[in-house]
């Protein structure tokens, strides 16, 4: 840890005397110098989390390490929020808006040996979703911005969230009064991804597919087989993705021609049915369930209307009890205005190539419970590139050979420290 005091003093002079373009950018040189200085220590911290991973709801050691680090930086620290959630509060010298940065901290159950030398010592648990990297970046941003404290207007909240993998932690923190303990105007966060290191990628609107479960309930009258066949066919027939589409292979998400970064992506304008129907039967009722994915909410609404009408008009209308969604996954939705502003400021500071615009959304049941924070306050979620195709390090979340180019820690701390500084300056 270091404070880079010299930078702080000079900067304060800049804001007092007005800001030219050059001066505006000076602060980001300090960000980069400070990041460079702490980079090795952040890598060491990341590897420590990697060696001692903890699954959802058991992140005791991880949260203690985070608390120690934030306390040493001089931040006010709140612990035990929604389980092992930790929040560090950085108060700028002058009043202003409040920005929250979220990092998820939990690991996953996995019995496959690590592909890195600093392998997990906690049997059956591994960081194969990169949350060790997310945590190190969150701490790095807290460190860098603490060094700029005297020139900051407003507050920054560092939200270290447990239990992302079971999709419970964000909601648990909110239910435990997170937004009463802090009053943030905007929230940001990232996930490591197989984009090349040095880049980030995002888009306005939703970034992961909507996932709904449709549930059709019938009164049984001895015709179960035909009810099941009819309903499966009907539901499958209402999707707009052909069975032989490249859409069905998640490996294509990163394809330069048809993946999410190409305007002609196959991962947009879709309503897709996962064909593994679940059938439940009681003495008198038959329940048929299926999961639907769409990049947009509207087709899901239309689907339900059409399904109900078709069922009501069908020869099975007498059997029909209900057709409804019994589950809707909370989905990450990026605020349009903030996406534009943050992307532009990062591009301006780190170059046009630093941001990959996205056109499609991620399918294959992926998601992030960061979605719950965005239901409370506007925010943006970014993919951080962590792949190095020359060394073969590809951070594909949950894959057994998950590996990250640790340069991505530097990129993450630089880009998002700068982004938060720019947001605090904005009206
Ligand atoms: Zn995960
Ligand atoms: Zn994850």
Q: For residue 3, how far is its CA from the centre of ligand 2 (angstroms)?
A: 31
Q: What angle do CA 226, 229, 232 make, to 5 degrees?
A: 145
Q: Which ligand is located closest to the Cα atom of residue 386?
A: 2
Domains located in the chain, CATH noted: 5-206+331-425 (3.40.630.10), 210-328 (3.30.70.600)
Q: For residue 423, how far is its CA from the centre of ligand 1 (angstroms)?
A: 28
Cα–Cα distance for residue pair 121/53, rounded to 1 Å: 8
Q: What is the mean pLDDT of residues 350-365?
A: 93
Cβ atoms of 331 and 175 closer than 8 Å: no
Q: For residue 234, how far is its CA from the centre of ligand 2 (angstroms)?
A: 35
Q: For residue 125, how far is its CA from the centre of ligand 2 (angstroms)?
A: 14
Cα–Cα distance for residue pair 123/60, rounded to 1 Å: 16
**In this prediction, what percent of the chain has a pLDDT beyond 70?**
94
| Band of residue 23 on the pLDDT scale cut at 50, 70, 90 | low
Phi and psi at residue 278, to the nearest 5°? -105, 130
Q: What is the mean pLDDT of residues 340-355?
A: 97
Tell me the pLDDT tens digit for each residue of 211-237: 999 999 999 999 999 999 999 999 999
Q: Which ligand is located closest to the Cα atom of residue 370?
A: 2
Cα–Cα distance for residue pair 11/28, rounded to 1 Å: 11
Which residues make beta-bridge pairs with 281?
A: 286
Dihedral sign computed on CA atoms, order 119, 125, 130, 132: negative
| Band of residue 5 on the pLDDT scale cut at 50, 70, 90 | very low
Q: For residue 332, how far is its CA from the centre of ligand 1 (angstroms)?
A: 14
**C-alpha distances in Å from residue 364, one per residue of 140, 266, 295, 397:** 31, 13, 12, 12
Which residues make beta-bridge pairs with 157?
A: 89, 100
Q: In sequence order, what are the residues at sequence separation of 6 or more whose Cβ sits closer than 8 angstroms to the Cβ of residue 348?
A: none
Q: For residue 368, how far is its CA from the centre of ligand 2 (angstroms)?
A: 7
Q: Where are the alpha helices (DSSP H) in 52-167?
A: 60-72, 131-147
Q: Are strands 153-161 and 85-91 parallel, antiparallel or unpaired?
A: antiparallel
Nearest to 102 by CA among 206, 190, 200: 190
Checking if the pLDDT of 308 tops 80, the result is yes
Tell me the pLDDT tens digit for each residue of 101-129: 999 999 999 999 888 999 999 999 999 99
Q: For residue 191, how far is its CA from the centre of ligand 2 (angstroms)?
A: 6
Q: For residue 106, how far is its CA from the centre of ligand 2 (angstroms)?
A: 8
Q: Which ligand is located closest to the Cα atom of residue 105?
A: 2
Collapsing DSSP to helix, strand or coil, 218 comes out as strand
**In this prediction, what percent of the chain has a pLDDT beyond 90?**
89
Dihedral sign computed on CA atoms, order 230, 233, 239, 240: negative
Cβ atoms of 361 and 178 closer than 8 Å: no
Q: For residue 204, how far is its CA from the centre of ligand 1 (angstroms)?
A: 22
Q: For residue 96, how far is its CA from the centre of ligand 2 (angstroms)?
A: 31
Q: For residue 397, how far is its CA from the centre of ligand 2 (angstroms)?
A: 6
Which residues make beta-bridge pairs with 126?
A: 108
Cβ atoms of 151 and 15 closer than 8 Å: yes
Q: Which ligand is located closest to the Cα atom of residue 134?
A: 2
Helix axes 298-313, 224-237, angle to 10 degrees: 140
Instruction: Calculate the CA dihedral of residues 114, 119, 124, 126 and round it to 10 degrees.
Output: -70
The one-character DSSP state at 253 is G
Tell me the pLDDT tens digit for each residue of 293-304: 999 999 999 999
Which residues participate in the annotated binding site for Mn(2+)? Answer: 129, 131, 165, 191, 398
Tell me the pLDDT tens digit for each residue of 226-271: 999 999 999 999 999 998 999 999 889 989 999 999 999 999 999 9
339: tokens are 């996406």
Q: What pLDDT sits at residue 274?
A: 86
Q: Which ligand is located closest to the Cα atom of residue 102?
A: 2
Tell me the pLDDT tens digit for each residue of 140-183: 999 999 999 999 999 999 999 999 999 999 999 999 999 999 99
Q: For residue 129, how far is its CA from the centre of ligand 1 (angstroms)?
A: 5
Cβ atoms of 416 and 190 closer than 8 Å: yes
Q: What pLDDT sits at residue 24?
A: 65
Around ion ligand 1, residues with a beta carbon closer than 5 Å are 129, 397
Map tokens 């120690």 to a residue. 68
The one-character DSSP state at 345 is H
Phi and psi at residue 149, to the nearest 5°? -45, -45
Complete DSSP assignment for 3-62: --HHHHHHHHHHHHT---HHHHHHHHHHHHHHHHHHHHHHHHHHHHHHHS--BTT--HHH
92: tokens are 């700028």
Q: For residue 201, how far is its CA from the centre of ligand 2 (angstroms)?
A: 16
Q: For residue 128, how far is its CA from the centre of ligand 2 (angstroms)?
A: 8
Tell me the pLDDT tens digit for each residue of 171-216: 999 999 999 999 999 999 999 999 999 999 999 999 999 999 999 9
Checking if the pLDDT of 13 tops 50, the result is no
Q: What pLDDT sits at residue 364?
A: 73
Q: For residue 381, how far is its CA from the centre of ligand 1 (angstroms)?
A: 15
| Band of residue 276 on the pLDDT scale cut at 50, 70, 90 | confident
Which residues participate in the annotated binding site? Answer: 129, 131, 165, 191, 398
Checking if the pLDDT of 19 tops 80, the result is no
């Amino acid at each position: 840890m270091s404070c880079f005091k010299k930078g702080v003093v000079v900067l304060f002079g800049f804001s007092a005397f007005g800001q030219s373009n050059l001066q505006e950018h000076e602060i980001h040189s300090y960000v980069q110098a400070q990041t460079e200085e702490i980079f090795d220590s952040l890598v060491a911290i990341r590897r420590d989390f990697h060696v001692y991973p903890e699954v959802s709801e058991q992140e005791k050691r991880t949260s203690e390490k985070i608390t120690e680090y934030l306390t040493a930086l001089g931040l006010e620290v709140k612990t035990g929020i929604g389980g092992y959630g930790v929040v560090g509060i950085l108060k700028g010298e002058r009043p202003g808006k409040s920005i929250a940065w979220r990092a998820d901290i939990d690991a996953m159950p996995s019995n496959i040996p690590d592909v890195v030398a600093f392998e997990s010592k906690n049997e059956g648990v591994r960081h194969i979703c990169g949350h060790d990297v997310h945590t190190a970046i969150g701490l790095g941003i807290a460190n860098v911005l603490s060094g700029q404290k005297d020139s900051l207007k407003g507050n920054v909240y560092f939200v270290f969230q447990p239990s992302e993998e079971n999709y419970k932690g964000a909601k648990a923190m909110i239910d435990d009064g997170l937004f009463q303990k802090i009053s943030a105007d905007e929230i940001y966060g990232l996930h490591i991804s197989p984009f090349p290191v040095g880049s980030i990628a995002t888009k306005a609107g939703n970034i992961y597919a909507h996932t709904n479960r449709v549930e059709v309930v019938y009164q049984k009258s001895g015709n179960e087989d035909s009810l099941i066949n009819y309903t499966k066919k009907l539901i499958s027939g209402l999707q707009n993705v052909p069975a032989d589409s490249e859409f069905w292979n998640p490996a294509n998400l990163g394809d330069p021609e048809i993946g999410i970064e190409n305007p002609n992506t196959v991962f947009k304008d879709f309503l897709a049915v996962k064909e593994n129907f679940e059938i439940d039967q009681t003495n008198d009722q038959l329940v048929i369930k299926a999961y639907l994915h769409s990049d947009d909410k509207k087709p899901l609404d239309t689907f339900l209307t059409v399904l109900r009408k078709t069922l009501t008009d069908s020869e099975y209308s007498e059997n029909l009890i209900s057709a409804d969604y019994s589950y809707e996954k909370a989905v990450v939705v990026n605020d349009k205005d903030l996406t534009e502003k943050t992307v532009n400021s990062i591009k301006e500071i780190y170059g046009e190539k630093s941001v990959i615009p996205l056109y499609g959304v991620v399918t294959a049941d992926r998601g992030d419970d960061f979605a719950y924070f965005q239901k409370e306050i506007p925010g943006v979620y970014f993919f951080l590139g962590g792949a190095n195709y020359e060394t073969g390090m590809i951070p594909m979340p949950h894959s057994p050979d998950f590996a990250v180019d640790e340069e991505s820690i530097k990129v993450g701390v630089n880009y998002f420290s700068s982004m938060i500084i720019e947001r605090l300056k904005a009206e």
